[in-house]
Amino acid sequence: MKICMIGTGYVGLVSGVCFSDLGNDVICVDKDQNKINNLKQGIIPIYEPGLEELVLKNYKNKRLKFSTDLNNSIKKSDIVFICVGTPTKKNGTGADLGQIYSVAKEISSSINRFKIIITKSTVPVTTGDEIEKIISKKINKEKFSVVSNPEFLREGEAIRDFIYPDRIVIGANDKKSSRILRNLYSPLISKGAKFISTKRRAAELIKYAANAFLATKITFINEIANLCEKTDIDVEDISIGIGLDKRIGSRFLRAGPAYGGSCFPKDTKAIVTTADKFKINLSVIKSVINSNSSRSKLLLNKVKGILNNKIRNKKICFLGVTFKANTDDMRDSSSLEMIPFLSKKGAKIKYYDPTGFKKEFNKLKNVNFKNSIKDAVKEADLVILHTEWNDFKSINFKKMYPSKNLKIYDMRNIYSPSKIKSQGFKYFGIGR
C-alpha cells in the first residue's frame, strides 16, 4: 500500500520505517527541511536501537522516501497517518491539538480520491470528530474516512513493539476502512497480534486509559517504596510478591524516579482535562499526577540526607540523565529538576549518558558532561545512578574508585546493596 506519514518525530518515523520494511511504499513528510535532508543522508534525529539500520535498508530499496511536499505526498497515498505532536498546553492542562487541526486543514486541500486519514498521535476523545468536521468543509464525506489507530511503542524497544505488538487497535466508524487496515496489518496479525476493531472514540480512549493505568502502577510502587524505607523492607520483595499475581502482573512495578518521557506526563493530564469537560472526576488519576509531581522533591530530600544537608562544593556524579534507558528522550526526566536544584545549591556536578551531551544543562553553573563513566565518577563524593543503562550494571566501583568515602545512591535498584557495602562504600537505594 502507499502510505504517507505526516511528522517524522518518534511515532511517525518509527512507524513509517517499519511499514516500509513490511513491503509498503512510504513517504515520511516533515516541514523541517534540514531534518528531511539529514534523513536522506541516513542521519537519524532520535536515538532508537535498530532504527538507523532499517532506515538505510528501506531507503536504499526505495520503499522509504522523505519529503517536505505534503500536498503531493497525500495525493500519491492511499492511507495518511497523522503523527504530529500533541504536547500539554502551556497552561498545564489538556493536549494542545493545534498541529493536528492544522494538518487536517492541509489534508482537506489535497484529497483527490478516497483516503483513509488516521490519527496515530495520541489524541483526546472526540478529536476524530473534529478532524472529520474540518475536512468535510471542503471534501465530500464519501471521499475520506477518519480513523483512530493509537500506537503502543515503548521508547528503546519501539522496533520490536511494532513488529510483535500485543494488539492492533483500529477505531473506525465504517467497515471499509477497518477491512483495509486489517489487510495493512495482516503480516503482524499472522504473527499473533490481536486485531481489535472498535468505534473511533473508543480507540482514542483506549490509548489514554492504558497510559493512565501504567502511570498509576509506577506511582503505586513508588509510594509503597516510601513505606518500605520506613519499615526496613526491600521494595524488590514486594514487587516480586505482588507481580506474580496474574491479576496484577510484574511489569511497571519497578520503584524509581518519577515517570517521565513523551507519554505518561502529558497523557494523564489530558485524560483528566477530557473527563472534566464531561463533568467526570477522575480522582485516582489526579492523585497519580500529584504524587508523581512531588516525587523528584522527595528524592532530592533523600540526597540532602545522604550528604547531611551539606551540598555546597560536594562533587556529585549522575550516571544517566534520560528519563529511561535506551533512549535520548529528556522530556520530564527527574534529572531536569534534580541537577538544576543541586547546581543552585553549590554542588559540582558531572554527568555521563550514553546518548551524549544534553543542551538542557548547558547554562547551569558547575555542570559538566564527561565522555566516560570513569571520568564522571572520578573524585565524586556521591554517585547517583539515575538511568538504568546496561553500561552501568557491572561497574567495578572498587577498581575505579579506590577511596572508601564514596556514597552511591542507586535510584533504579540495579546494584546489590551487600556487594556495594562489602567494597567499603555506602549504599542507598529506593525503598530499601
379: region left, alpha or beta (phi > 0 left; psi from -120 to 50 alpha): left
The answer to whether 362 and 387 have CB atoms below 8 angstroms apart is no
249 vs 253: CA distance, rounded Å: 8
Q: Is residue 28 flagged as an active site residue?
A: no
The answer to whether 95 and 211 have CB atoms below 8 angstroms apart is no
The answer to whether 104 and 135 have CB atoms below 8 angstroms apart is yes
- For residue 37 the three cell numbers come to 535532508
Sign of the dihedral through C-alpha 24, 142, 123, 171: negative
- Cα 100 to Cα 29, 203, 213, 222, 239: the distances in Å are 14, 17, 25, 34, 39
DSSP conformation class of 147: E
SS (H, E, C) 65-123: EEECCHHHHHHCCCEEEECCCCCECCCCCCECCHHHHHHHHHHHCCCCCCEEEEECCCC
Coil vs helix vs strand at 335: helix
Q: Which residues of 395-424 are buried (b: 16+ CB within 10 A; e: fewer)?
A: bebeeebeeeebbbbbbbbbbeeeebeebe
The answer to whether 317 and 406 have CB atoms below 8 angstroms apart is no
The answer to whether 39 and 8 have CB atoms below 8 angstroms apart is yes
Cβ-proximal residues to 389 (8 Å cutoff; 6+ apart), any chain = 319, 320, 325, 326, 353, 354
Closest CA to 317 of 364, 277, 345, 353: 353
Catalytic one among 18, 28, 228, 263? Answer: 263
DSSP conformation class of 153: P
Q: Which residues are catalytic?
A: 263
